[in-house]
Amino acid sequence: MWIEENNQLKRSFQFADFVEAFAFMTQVAFAAEKSGHHPNWSNVYNQVDIVLFTHDANNTVTEKDRKLAGIIDAIYAK
């Protein structure tokens, strides 16, 4: 579940191992590039932490972030 705090949407994703986490990040990277909106993220072994906000809107959450969050959720659900 995404949490909105400090003008950011945040969520952590857990996977079985690093390979699954990296595959997820790869799919998100292609979707983000296609949408022209890119996440801030980090990865440690089987966990991916994602933070979304829009630089062009004074670093606040916008519809771009909510849309990308939905796309990321759909990728995770696969």
- Domain range spanning residue 69? 3-77
CATH number for position 33:
3.30.1360.20
Q: The whole model's pTM is what?
A: 0.93
Is the pLDDT at 56 greater than 90? The verdict is no
pLDDT digits (tens, 9 = 90+) for 11-41: 999 999 999 999 999 999 999 999 999 999 9
Q: What is the mean pLDDT of residues 36-50?
A: 96
Count of structural domains within the chain: 1
Is the pLDDT at 71 greater than 90? The verdict is yes
Residue identified by tokens 């659900």 is 77
Is the pLDDT at 55 greater than 90? The verdict is no
What is the pLDDT of the chain when averaged over all its residues? Answer: 96
User: Which ranges of the chain does DSSP label H, i.e. alpha helix?
Assistant: 18-35, 63-77
- Pairing, β 3-5 against β 8-14: antiparallel
